[in-house]
């Protein structure tokens, strides 16, 4: 069993437990459930930098990245640096995140927030809305076409945007549908954790222009963004590169200033 399979197996158990503790009616009663959402897709289309900065404490491939951050302060720093959106990890076991992190980020900024999570159940989409997310992540590698359709349509009904993540042509072909806003190409193989920008380059030609193209993982240099822009990418998800530094928001600010120049 590879790490992705382990994460998903644990996620089914986690979600089953949550559903037994917090009913859907309680999620729908949340004050955040009724809020108007912010559009990450629009922010990326209108941006000259396209940075989505991530809050991530650890990962299965890298271990501890940064355990000492205050998510609210990081979110404010990212906002001040001029990011288009903020990705907040909410998986506890493997990434050290939580829904509380999402709530704190929401209380701190009006920037579009992506709930970075392994979504395998409609319950998690309602949970995302109830805790202040604007965007959900769907990972094609762990979902069927039917699940992608069901989950993305539910998200749209809640005014949440959908970033659909793919790793290869097969995943991309099953994922193209009107209820998706952004197509993210993950340059990291989730089974081996090897990273290659060639993944973004190769798949870019197959993504219709009506989707916002986002490149994810392995982006640590401004040159990389300039290399990917001709392939139509408007969004760049960066986590570890900022989070591994002592001051993630300062790192993000310096990075964005370089792009702007």
Query: Is residue 116 annotated as part of the catalytic site, yes or no?
Result: yes
Which among 14, 87, 108, 116 is annotated as catalytic?
116
Which of 11, 14, 56, 200 is labelled catalytic? Answer: 56
Query: Is residue 244 annotated as a catalytic residue, yes or no?
Result: no
Please pick, among 14, 54, 117, 161, the residue that the annotation labels catalytic. Answer: 54
For 63, the 3-state DSSP assignment is: strand
Q: Which of 216, 240, 241, 251 is catalytic?
A: 216
d(CA 34, CA 31): 6
Is 186 assigned a catalytic role? Answer: yes
| Catalytic position from the list 131, 217, 241, 253 | 217
Nearest Cα neighbor of 128 from 83, 94, 163 is 163
Catalytic annotation, pick one of 14, 161, 165, 240: 165
Please answer whether residues 175 and 141 qualify as being in contact, where contact means their C-beta atoms are separated by less than 8 angstroms: no
Active site residue 56: yes
| Catalytic residue check, 198 | no
Whole-angstrom distance, CA of residue 171 vs CA of residue 236: 20
Is 54 annotated in the active site?
yes
User: One of 87, 131, 175, 186 is an active-site residue; which one?
Assistant: 186
- Report the relative pairing of strands 212-216 and 63-64 from DSSP bridges: unpaired
C-alpha to C-alpha distances, 158 to 48, 96, 141, 143, 243, nearest whole angstrom: 29, 27, 24, 20, 31
Q: Residue 174 burial by CB count (10 A; 0-12/13-18/19+): exposed, middle or buried?
A: middle
Catalytic positions: 54, 56, 116, 165, 186, 216-217
């Amino acid at each position: 069993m590879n790490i992705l399979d382990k994460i998903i197996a644990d996620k089914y158990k986690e979600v089953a437990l949550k559903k037994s503790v917090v009913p859907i009616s309680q999620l729908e009663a949340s004050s955040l459930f009724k809020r108007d959402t912010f559009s990450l897709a629009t922010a990326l289309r209108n941006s000259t930098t396209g940075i989505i900065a991530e809050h991530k404490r650890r990962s299965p491939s890298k271990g501890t990245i940064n355990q000492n951050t205050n998510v609210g302060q990081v979110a404010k720093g990212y906002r001040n640096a001029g990011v288009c959106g903020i990705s907040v990890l909410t998986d506890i076991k493997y990434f050290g995140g939580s829904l509380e992190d999402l709530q704190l980020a929401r209380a701190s900024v009006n920037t579009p927030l992506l709930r970075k999570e392994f979504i395998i159940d409609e319950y998690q989409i309602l949970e995302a809305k109830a805790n202040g997310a604007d965007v959900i992540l769907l990972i094609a590698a762990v979902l069927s076409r039917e699940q992608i359709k069901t989950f993305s349509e539910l998200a749209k009904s809640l005014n949440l945007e959908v970033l659909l993540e793919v790793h290869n042509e097969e995943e991309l072909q099953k994922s193209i549908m009107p209820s998706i806003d952004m197509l993210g190409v993950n340059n990291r193989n989730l089974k081996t954790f090897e990273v290659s920008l060639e993944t973004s380059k190769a798949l870019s030609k197959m993504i219709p222009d009506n989707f916002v193209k986002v490149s994810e993982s392995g982006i640590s240099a401004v040159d990389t963004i300039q290399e990917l822009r001709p392939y139509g990418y408007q969004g760049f998800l960066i986590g570890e590169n900022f989070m591994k530094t002592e001051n993630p928001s300062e790192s993000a600010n310096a990075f964005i200033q370089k792009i702007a120049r």
